[in-house]
Amino acid sequence: MESTTDRLRDAGERVTRQRLIVSDALTAMGRQVTAQELYERLRRSEPRIGRATVFRTLEALVTAGVARRLEQDGHVYGYVACRPEHHHHLACDRCGRVEEIGESYIRPVAERVASDLGFTIDDARLDFYGRCARCTAESASAD
Partner DNA sequence: CCCTACATGATACTGAGTCTCGTGAATACG
Partner DNA sequence: CGTATTCACGAGACTCAGTATCATGTAGGG
- The residue ranges that bind DNA (CB under 7 A) are 9, 13-19, 34-36, 46, 48-53, 55-57, 59-60, 75-77
Q: Which of 130, 62, 46 lies closest to 96, judged by CA?
A: 130
Of residues 120, 141, 142, 143, which one binds a copy of itself by CB under 8 A? 120
Nearer to a copy of itself, 15 or 135 (CB): 135
3-state SS class at 71: strand
CB of 106 to a copy of itself, least distance (A): 7
Asked whether position 96 contacts a copy of itself by CB under 8 A, the answer is: no
- CB of 115 within 8 A of CB of 121? no
Instruction: Measure Cα distances from 87 to 5, 57, 72, 108, 126 in Å.
Output: 29, 24, 10, 16, 8
Q: Is 130 in the site for a copy of itself (CB under 8 A)?
A: yes
CB of 120 to a copy of itself, least distance (A): 4
Backbone angles phi, psi at 53, to 5 degrees: -60, -40
Instruction: Examine residue 99 and tell whether it contacts a copy of itself (CB under 8 A).
Output: yes
